[in-house]
Structure 1
Amino acid sequence: MEVKSLGDVHLQINGWLDRYNSSHVDVAALLCDRHDPQKRTLNFESAAGRVESLSYGELQEKSRRFASVLRGLGIEKGDRVALLLPKSPELLIAAVALWRLGAVYIPLFTAFGPEAVAVRVEDSGAKVILTDNTNRPKLNGVQGRSIVNIDDREGQNVGEDIPFHASLNRADPLDENTSTDGKDMLVLLYTSGTTGQPKGVKVPVHALATFESYMRFALDVREDDMFWNMADPGWAYGLYYGLLGPLLLGQTIMYYQGAFDPARAIDIMRRYEITNFASAPTAYRVFRSAHLGKPEGLKLRVASSAGEPLNPELYHWARETLGVELFDHFGQTELGMAICNHHHPALSRSIKPGSMGQAMPGFRVVILDDHGNEQDDGVEGHLAIDRHASPLCIFEEYYNAPDRTAERLMHHGRYYLAGDNASRDHEGNYFFSGRGDDIILSAGYRIGPFEVESALVHHPAVAEAAVVGKPDDLKGEIVKAYVVLKPGQEATDALKEELSLFVKQKLAAHAYPREIVFVDQLPKTPSGKIQRFLLRAQA
């Protein structure tokens, strides 16, 4: 249907909910088999020079064969299959193959060490693990699982592991896909675990409605778009909206396997005529710091950002350099994307720099006080989702962790607590002020670190900044900043004073950093989020 109004949006969402929450959902047909077999499903390049592509027809044929391999290894509906793989054609084939069997996808980010891998494999009960030679040593301590190695290409040795390509080529294609219920688990994805052991997030099949809503109404991915989400599929944004979302829409996925390089990224945008681009703020900051000038020949129509708050000055940079508005979005592994600056014409509004946007249709977002009471506009509090009024909210519980589930829910499960502090203006725009435990209390003032960080990175000498509270006998806490300088900048006491004054003048007299430390890099999670708790421990 053609969507022209908010009413049309809700009708469309209700239709997807009906489709994906039924008792008979053929996930592989939705993601692959129903699409034009001649259309390209993947463009792949690696830093090492490997270039490949797949059509939807080829994906269907190869994934049917690998599904037979998995069935021969004992994989049935509901079983877990873990993928410790970089972006690659094999990852895509394996993912669709396991969904043909109604199995559950366990993403393992390739930056994980052996302990992080082992925790997730043991907790999930994964029966089969796919990996490559680079990541294989991380599995040396893992027992009782079948290990499939994708590096049997061109005669490479995979030892005693099951060879991916040879097994696939010998197998007969699976005849019939396994039907699933909308409430069955599609993915078991573990949070980064920055405040404790990682938590397994159960992602149901009906979450496909949430993913399609975001792809169409926030990212505004259209049939003629060439879409590129740079995020890694080992994490939520890259899996939900760089793999599942594009497959739902019959889009072509772009995978680049290699370290992020701004010049290479621009080159890929130009050569593949990318029209719709999504990444984390870190990538846009690196683009900005690289001083590449205004790229010629780009065909960008949409640029989006997610994963952490977007510094306001990046809006102006994107408009001037990329020639498009930059749209900020908020979400979590547990939710998908819930607050967005929507690009779709039926929902679009003027962007307010610094705002995460408005609630996605299908979500009721509220601000709560410490007692769980909903707050008025303009009052800062705890960001939460009213689950009873949010049909697109996918969070039900953490896997095998009822106590940790209870920590996230309030008022008999009505509200899901995001763990972030925020406020909402009278137009329905939400403004992030910090993680619940990141707020700095100084001389009676509540200072959100993000505001101070945004002010610091606006200074021409600063590449990145992180702000925490340091205990102080007089004020309770003072603002302490850890700053990464741009190349060529000299770390001096004079520059520290200049930055403090800059923030005092730009932001507020009470919020400027009274201590500044220059560092080479900031501690981050594998998905690029700043780990302020480590900096607080140092402070």
Structure 2
Amino acid sequence: MSSFLEEYVSRTEFESYDEFKESFKIKVPENFNFAYDIVDRYAKEQPEKRALVWCNDDGEELIYNFADLKKYSDKAANVFRKYGIKRGDVVMLTLKGRYEFWICILALHKIGAVTLPATHMLTTKDITYRIELANIKMVVSADDEGLMGYIDEAHEGYEDILLHKAVLNVEKEGWLNFTEELEAASEDFSRPEGDEATRNDDISLLYFSSGTTGLPKMVQHDFSYPLGHIITANYWQNVMDDGLHLTVADSGWAKCVWGKLYGQWICGTAVFVYDYERFDAKNMLEKASSYGVTTFCAPPTIYRFLIKEDLSQYDFSSLEYCVVAGEPLNPEVYERFLEFTGLKLMEGFGQTESIVTIATYPWMEPKPGSMGKPSPEYDIQLINLDGKLCDSGEEGEIVINTTKGKPVGLFAGYRGDEKKTAETWHDGYYHTGDMAWKDEDGYFWFIGRSDDIIKSSGYKIGPFEVESALIEHPSVLECAITGVPDPVRGQIVKATIVLAKGYEASDELKKELQEHVKKATAPYKYPRAVEFVDELPKTISGKIRRVEIRDHDKEAN
């Protein structure tokens, strides 16, 4: 059974990265709607084609083909319609790793409503913030008493905005039992026409950015956005038709639609969803190997945990390709994973605002720690503090040139915040806020968020290089490098470290780690301050919140 990939691209096969960059184009049809034009079309032409493989730690399993997805998304669309949801309305989904997430997002696409995926880790304050800014009409939640309690608290005073609360398979006053509603709903749902039909520039997705440096912003994506993820899935993740792809991501993260929905289904691979309550490396390895995952994507944090296990105990005969994104990859992790599996980790870079914009593609030899080269249709440049293009080796901000138009997959601005949109997207460039440098081969190397750069005694120090040096030491499981104000040097380098099993914090270990960094990189970059902690502060999408560490240090001083 084949995918529909060829219909949406200029060509599918390339001999080199240069040919790919120059010749690849995405073809965007008029009024594209992923739910109808991909999922329902599979259901009509290849109804038995496997789409979703779901399992959890309780031994439950579900395998949906595309005919199943059409049936249940049509039923869900009728549920949403029953409670007044129409084109343009915002519905928040806090569904963890539940398979109903995929049913709901397809249903909302069919109606033309705006889906707001959100993590189950939100609190009352977070939810209130989202109700106010996004004007949420309805929420569908997983069966989680704590989360439901937060939603109830946030709902107070906003009953005229948030009209309906629904929960999976639970009877509770003030809440709809979404599971019962879904079962009772009709399977007949027709594609809306006329004024109710969706258009390419309609907003289909709304994400609150992870907020590493401030309050989350509302990132808007339109109905053409899924097509941009053809690049993500087919050419970076290298998924295969009728394969099984696993991206480690909660349904509340933008990474979920990067790796568990759009590009994967366009390219014909099934997506694997392991719905766990708490991450455990051994369980992840067992599930991935036993179900025969063929392609895999995860952030560096996950790989760091995986390589600490005895990988020889697992069958990876089906695994053919692995990629990594979310934060820069430490070379030590790359080498250890290659040693165990024989697979080279192919790094990529992107944001909630985009698809994968820089990546190590199949025709390229990876350079551990490098993001790779720009994606086709994305004119990526580096600009220095003077606003001029950087030379090779010169540090600058990653920007996307949009003077010739917005590339497919780039966001449609920040909802309700024209000022913030104008601050980051002006004079023909979208400013990512991320710093990097480019080597003579054209590979990009991540330095850090512009706010994360440390300026000490006249030197500029990016956190990633020091973190990579520390990760090489067997005692370090995770670490974050930040700057601490210093009256003499301006700032000094601080390391906040989570130790691996079997190691204990001590002055001796602190000195050993400082000496290790001095030998692994330029001596002036070593951490003069070291703090050992049980865990690092992270965003809801798993990125380290260095800003929180800096704020804590300011308060302490």
Shorter-chain TM band: over 0.9
CA deviation after TM superposition for structure 1 residue 107, in Å: 0.7
1: CA distance between counterparts of 2:459 and 2:70? Answer: 58
2: CA distance between counterparts of 1:171 and 1:293? Answer: 48
The reply on whether 1:295 has 2:314 as its aligned counterpart is yes
Is the Cα contact below 8 Å between 1:377 and 1:423 reproduced in 2?
yes
1: CA distance between counterparts of 2:510 and 2:34? Answer: 55
Which residue of the partner structure matches residue 275 of structure 1? 294
Per the alignment, in what secondary structure is the counterpart of residue 395 of structure 1?
Answer: coil
The reply on whether 1:460 has 2:474 as its aligned counterpart is yes
Pairs within 5 Å for 1:472-483: 472-483=486-497
Is the Cα contact below 8 Å between 1:397 and 1:405 reproduced in 2?
yes
Which residue of the partner structure matches residue 41 of structure 1? 51
1: CA distance between counterparts of 2:19 and 2:498? Answer: 47
2: CA distance between counterparts of 1:241 and 1:296? Answer: 23
Which residue of the partner structure matches residue 433 of structure 1? 447
2: CA distance between counterparts of 1:384 and 1:294? Answer: 44
Which residue of the partner structure matches residue 449 of structure 1? 463
Per the alignment, in what secondary structure is the counterpart of residue 111 of structure 1?
Answer: coil
One-letter amino acid of the counterpart of residue 37, structure 1: P
Q: Give identity over the alignment, percent.
A: 33
Which residue of the partner structure matches residue 248 of structure 1? 266
2: CA distance between counterparts of 1:175 and 1:274? Answer: 34
The reply on whether 1:87 has 2:92 as its aligned counterpart is no
Which residue of the partner structure matches residue 151 of structure 1? 168
Is the Cα contact below 8 Å between 2:476 and 2:499 reproduced in 1?
yes
Which residue of the partner structure matches residue 416 of structure 2? 400
Q: Deviations over 1:7-39 (max 9, x none)?
A: 87469853x3332xx2x2233123311112112
Bigger mean CA deviation after superposition, 262-271 or 141-150: 141-150
2: CA distance between counterparts of 1:437 and 1:361? Answer: 28
Pairs within 5 Å for 1:108-507: 108-134=118-144, 135-140=147-152, 141-142=154-155, 143-144=159-160, 145-152=162-169, 156-178=170-192, 179-258=197-276, 259-293=278-312, 295-343=314-362, 348-389=363-404, 391-392=407-408, 394-411=410-427, 414-507=428-521
Is the Cα contact below 8 Å between 1:362 and 1:393 reproduced in 2?
no
One-letter amino acid of the counterpart of residue 164, structure 2: I
Aligned residues: 526
Is the Cα contact below 8 Å between 1:30 and 1:248 reproduced in 2?
no
For residues 25 and 396 of structure 1, do their structure 2 counterparts lie closer, same or farther at Cα, with a shift above 3 Å needed? closer
One-letter amino acid of the counterpart of residue 217, structure 1: Y
One-letter amino acid of the counterpart of residue 137, structure 1: G
Q: Deviations over 1:108-164 (max 9, x none)?
A: 111111211221122111212111331321211312334353432xxx423342222
Per the alignment, in what secondary structure is the counterpart of residue 232 of structure 1?
Answer: coil
One-letter amino acid of the counterpart of residue 336, structure 2: W
Q: Deviations over 1:310-345 (max 9, x none)?
A: 1111111111112211111110001121010112xx
Per the alignment, in what secondary structure is the counterpart of residue 510 of structure 1?
Answer: helix
Is the Cα contact below 8 Å between 1:133 and 1:158 reproduced in 2?
no
For residues 170 and 159 of structure 1, do their structure 2 counterparts lie closer, same or farther at Cα, with a shift above 3 Å needed? same
Is the Cα contact below 8 Å between 1:149 and 1:158 reproduced in 2?
no
For residues 293 and 137 of structure 1, do their structure 2 counterparts lie closer, same or farther at Cα, with a shift above 3 Å needed? same
Structure 2: which 5+ residue stretches go unaligned?
1-5, 7-11
CA deviation after TM superposition for structure 1 residue 221, in Å: 1.1
Structure 1: which 5+ residue stretches go unaligned?
none
Q: Deviations over 1:422-474 (max 9, x none)?
A: 10112110001111011111111111111001000100111111111112222
TM-score (norm 1): 0.93
Per the alignment, in what secondary structure is the counterpart of residue 167 of structure 1?
Answer: helix
Which residue of the partner structure matches residue 62 of structure 2? 52
2: CA distance between counterparts of 1:503 and 1:294? Answer: 33
CA deviation after TM superposition for structure 1 residue 371, in Å: 2.9
One-letter amino acid of the counterpart of residue 413, structure 2: E
1: CA distance between counterparts of 2:461 and 2:233? Answer: 34
Per the alignment, in what secondary structure is the counterpart of residue 488 of structure 1?
Answer: coil
Which residue of the partner structure matches residue 75 of structure 2? 65
One-letter amino acid of the counterpart of residue 274, structure 1: V
2: CA distance between counterparts of 1:41 and 1:148? Answer: 28
Per the alignment, in what secondary structure is the counterpart of residue 499 of structure 1?
Answer: helix
CA deviation after TM superposition for structure 1 residue 257, in Å: 1.4
2: CA distance between counterparts of 1:500 and 1:197? Answer: 34
For residues 298 and 474 of structure 1, do their structure 2 counterparts lie closer, same or farther at Cα, with a shift above 3 Å needed? same
Per the alignment, in what secondary structure is the counterpart of residue 121 of structure 1?
Answer: helix
Per the alignment, in what secondary structure is the counterpart of residue 518 of structure 2?
Answer: helix
Bigger mean CA deviation after superposition, 59-68 or 30-39: 30-39
1: CA distance between counterparts of 2:268 and 2:178? Answer: 26
The runs of at least 4 aligned residues of structure 1 exceeding 6 Å deviation read: none
CA deviation after TM superposition for structure 1 residue 383, in Å: 1.3
Per the alignment, in what secondary structure is the counterpart of residue 334 of structure 1?
Answer: coil
2: CA distance between counterparts of 1:447 and 1:278? Answer: 29
Per the alignment, in what secondary structure is the counterpart of residue 260 of structure 2?
Answer: helix
Q: Deviations over 1:391-430 (max 9, x none)?
A: 235133100001111221242xx11111111101121100
Is the Cα contact below 8 Å between 2:205 and 2:221 reproduced in 1?
yes
Per the alignment, in what secondary structure is the counterpart of residue 28 of structure 2?
Answer: helix
Is the Cα contact below 8 Å between 2:222 and 2:412 reproduced in 1?
no
Is the Cα contact below 8 Å between 1:31 and 1:244 reproduced in 2?
no
One-letter amino acid of the counterpart of residue 441, structure 2: E
2: CA distance between counterparts of 1:9 and 1:506? Answer: 36
2: CA distance between counterparts of 1:480 and 1:26? Answer: 48
Which residue of the partner structure matches residue 106 of structure 1? 116
For residues 222 and 133 of structure 1, do their structure 2 counterparts lie closer, same or farther at Cα, with a shift above 3 Å needed? closer
Is the Cα contact below 8 Å between 1:295 and 1:322 reproduced in 2?
no
Q: Root-mean-square deviation (CA), in Å?
A: 1.9
TM-score (norm 2): 0.90
CA deviation after TM superposition for structure 1 residue 183, in Å: 1.0
Per the alignment, in what secondary structure is the counterpart of residue 469 of structure 1?
Answer: strand
For residues 249 and 296 of structure 1, do their structure 2 counterparts lie closer, same or farther at Cα, with a shift above 3 Å needed? closer
CA deviation after TM superposition for structure 1 residue 293, in Å: 4.4
Is the Cα contact below 8 Å between 1:82 and 1:121 reproduced in 2?
no
Per the alignment, in what secondary structure is the counterpart of residue 526 of structure 1?
Answer: coil
2: CA distance between counterparts of 1:508 and 1:12? Answer: 41
1: CA distance between counterparts of 2:472 and 2:383? Answer: 31
CA deviation after TM superposition for structure 1 residue 175, in Å: 3.2
2: CA distance between counterparts of 1:175 and 1:495? Answer: 64
Is the Cα contact below 8 Å between 1:148 and 1:163 reproduced in 2?
no
Q: Deviations over 1:506-538 (max 9, x none)?
A: 111111111211111111111111111121123
Is the Cα contact below 8 Å between 2:95 and 2:119 reproduced in 1?
yes
Is the Cα contact below 8 Å between 2:246 and 2:259 reproduced in 1?
no
Which residue of the partner structure matches residue 527 of structure 1? 541
